[in-house]
Amino acid sequence: MFVSKRRWILKTCGTTTPLQCLEPMLAMAEKIGFHDVGDLFYSRKNFKRPDLQISPHRGFEEEVALLDSLFEDGQAYCLGSINRECWYLYTLARGSGRDHRIQRCIDEMNNFTEPDQTIEILMTELDPQKMSIFTKIECDNAAEATEKAGIHKLIPGMVIDDYLFDPCGYSMNGIAKNTTAGEHSQGCYMTIHITPEPDFSYVSFESNVSSSNYTELIERVIKTFQPGKFVITIFANKTSSASNAFREIDHATRLGQCGQWKRRDIQYTRFPSYDLTYAHYSKFPS
| Residues in contact with ligand SAM by the rule CB under 6 A | 11-13, 165, 168-171, 193-197
Residue 184: left (phi > 0), alpha (psi -120 to 50), or beta?
Answer: beta
CB of 238: closest distance to ligand SAM in angstroms?
Answer: 31
Instruction: Report the residue number, 11 or 94, with the smaller CB distance to ligand SAM.
Output: 11
For the beta carbon of residue 59, count every other beta carbon within 10 angstroms: 14
- 160, HSE (Cβ side, Cα atoms, 13 Å): 24
How far is C-alpha 22 from the chain's CA centre? 19
CB of 169: closest distance to ligand SAM in angstroms?
Answer: 2
Instruction: Report the residue number, 191 or 211, with the smaller CB distance to ligand SAM.
Output: 191
Q: Please report, to the nearest 10 degrees, the dihedral formed by the alpha carbons of residues 132, 133, 137, 143 taken in order.
A: -160
Which residues, in sequence order, are CB contacts of 197 under 8 Å at separation 6+? 131, 168
CB of 194: closest distance to ligand SAM in angstroms?
Answer: 5
Instruction: Report the residue number, 14 or 97, with the smaller CB distance to ligand SAM.
Output: 14
CB of 5: closest distance to ligand SAM in angstroms?
Answer: 22
Name the residue with the smallest CB distance to ligand SAM. Answer: 169
Instruction: Report the residue number, 43 or 210, with the smaller CB distance to ligand SAM.
Output: 43
CB of 12: closest distance to ligand SAM in angstroms?
Answer: 5
For the beta carbon of residue 136, count every other beta carbon within 10 angstroms: 14
Instruction: Report the residue number, 15 or 186, with the smaller CB distance to ligand SAM.
Output: 15
Instruction: Report the residue number, 171 or 273, with the smaller CB distance to ligand SAM.
Output: 171
**Bridge-based pairing state of the strands 189-195 and 202-207:** antiparallel
CB of 221: closest distance to ligand SAM in angstroms?
Answer: 16
Cα distance between residue 267 and residue 204, in whole Å: 20
